[in-house]
A and B are shown apart, each in its own frame.
Chain A
Amino acid sequence: MKLLVVEDEAKTGEYLRQGLTEAGFVVDLADNGLDGQYRALSEPYDLIVLDVMLPGVDGWRILQTLRAVENNVPVLFLTARDSVADRVKGLELGADDYLVKPFAFSELLARVRTLLRRGSGQIATDRIQVGDLVLDLVRRRATRAGRRINLTSKEFALLELFVRRRGEVLPRSLIASQVWDMNFDSDTNVIDVAIRRLRAKIDDAFDAKLIQTVRGMGYVLEEPEDLR
């Protein structure tokens, strides 16, 4: 997967490249609008991360140019100005998602993965398995090592999110948004509590733990080594 990052702030750009490279992407970095526009038009990318405020050609212009030549590469734009007008403008111009600075890197990573997955289409399935955990998506039931686990509907939705995006670190804000449709930061540790309760049901009775805490980033569900 090849990504283009257009960001003029040197430190931010460098860390974005490092972070995304370490997450397994091939990353090109352009540090000004002109360069960014040239690369976006001349090379095939799977996704572009675009800063709006750029010297030379701004992010809006690059986006417009891309869409004008019917280049439909997914674009995630970064903005420091969190105004509704800005967001609406970006989405109208054909951007696929946006993030307001300052953002958590895990949030960016999660959004990037969502956008990349969108193109390929989600696999229509009625059963997902990770190690010895099996989710029956039709009957909304979970079993682990053959034992039925009683989950509330929200707990099931939470587990389903982890399973569908296994191996990805999910930041708390993304979990709140995807499972509860709460698109703002709660000033409580409600997500941590919800995950603790989910762990109590699916992990506590087993030696191999599925859900891991990644400090400072969020939570991830991974298939433990010994269950592979």
Chain B
Amino acid sequence: MRPFSLTTRLTAFFSLSSATVLLGLGALIATSMDQHFAHEDFAVLEEKANLVRKIVQDAAPAAMPARLGAALQNHPGLVALVRTGEGASLYATDGVEFRQALDAARALPAGKEEFTWRQDGAEYRGLRITVGGAGGEIHVIVGLATEIHAHFMHGFLHSLVLYVLLSALVSGVFGWWAARSGLAPLRAMAVRARAVTAQKLDERMPVEAVPLEMADLASTLNAMLARLQDDFRRLSEFSSDLAHELRTPLTNLLTQTHVILAQPREAGEYREILASNEEELQRLSRMVSDMLYLAKMEHGLTLPDAGVIAVQDEVSALFEFYEALAEDKAVAMRLTGRGRIVGDRLMLRRALSNLLSNALRHTPPGGAIDVVVASDATAVTIAVENDGKEIPVELIPSLFDRFFRGDKSRARPDSESSGLGLSITRAIMVAHGGDITAGSAAGRTRFTLVFPAKDALPASSAAGARGQ
């Protein structure tokens, strides 16, 4: 089920919390008011009881009822019962039956004087005292009806409930408004996001204009957009590069063929032109194979075998392969270190071969190529380092792009390189869970392949980690 909207949740939360707070406060006030009233009532009762005590002790027995009457009559809500120990009534408030009061007083434990009783639907607070007078013990009960206080409390609670309801409603409205206006920047972002299309990737979220809490989200989204824009740019550059790369050899082939067909020629000339065509076609065919290989690597369709490979053996085999070329160019090739990786032998050879052939192309006569294999607990690195002109720092991130050429002005720097070698090498490294880095300084250029160490490799990452 879809959760309630943020606005609904905030509105409910505001209403609920204001109602809770006000109800709590009301209960607190009501309790303390009740206590205050009780305190007041008992103070009045105490005073009356003292008065009765005084009369009982001082007055002559005959004058007692009249004096008691004078003392107790004129207080609204006050009831009193004064009896001798034998049960003879000395004074009782008119029209009041004291049966419930007597029952409640009798049930009191000895010593406790304060009590309450109900009678005829009204509640009374009472005080029981016993006075030892001249004519024996006198029992006194004075009571005060709580009706007036109860009426007040009732009114108070009534208006409290009304107030709580009203304020819950008001804070609900505030909550709704706060949520709406608080979420307004999100809606603004949504509007911006809607404007982003493949052709218009330069829209960005308004980081400065949104509240602090959303600035993080906005800048994260902006970073994502920037990455997308970059990838997209590469992709469109790649498409146009590809068209260009294919167009050049195709133009050559077409022109040559047209010119040759324009008039009859010697057999030798035909042979010559066919051989030249063959070279162009080989190039095209290799480019297509390389692109297919690259596409399959990048989509995880070609998964590396997971065998344990001794890197130094593969490097030595490649040195043997390139030996003639290196000697021809007077370039020395040296290998130091050793290490074992888990991976695909053919892919490793291909990756290293691309680096070595690159190095051979760019090392001046008399220079050297060093392959350094090193391993530690987490990684096995294979560095291929050669003498030669440095690669400008700003070009290094683009080195691994397809068809990247150091010098854009040279359309076809040499006919052998497809411009995909480094891309393929990187794709092979990614498929192995590794990485490739490049650096160039002080007349040395270095490419480093980083493989996860044999033992540090998660069980599934060498092969089959990515589904087909």
Contact = CB atoms under 8 A, between A and B. Distances in A.
Contacts of A180: 317, 320-321
Contacts, number: 72
Contacts of B320: 154, 180
A83 interface: yes
B322 A181 contact: no
B171 interface: no
Contacts of B296: 82-83
A184 B318 CA distance: 12
B324 A194 contact: yes
Contact of B321 (A176, A189, A197): A176
Interface in B212-243: none
A129 interface: no
A185 B288 CA distance: 13
Interface in A188-212: 188-190, 193-194, 197
A197 B279 CA distance: 22
A184 B302 contact: no
B119 to A, nearest CB: 99
Contacts of B417: 187
A182 interface: yes
B282 interface: yes
Interface string A93-109: 00000001010100000
A100 B465 CA distance: 26
Chain A interface, >50% SS class:
loop
A187 B275 CA distance: 19
Given A83-B296, A102-B288, A187 B416 contact: yes
Contact of B285 (A102, A181, A186, A189): A102
A82 B352 CA distance: 22
B346 interface: yes
B170 to A, nearest CB: 69
Given A181-B317, A188-B325, A84 B302 contact: yes
Interface of A: 82-84, 100, 102, 104, 152, 154, 176, 180-190, 193-194, 197, 215-216
Given A188-B325, A193-B324, 15 more contacts: A82-B296, A104-B282, A152-B323, A180-B320, A182-B353, A183-B346, A184-B349, A187-B286, A187-B418, A187-B421, A190-B325, A190-B357, A197-B327, A215-B271, A216-B274
Closest 5 CB pairs of A and B: A216-B278, A215-B275, A194-B324, A216-B275, A180-B321
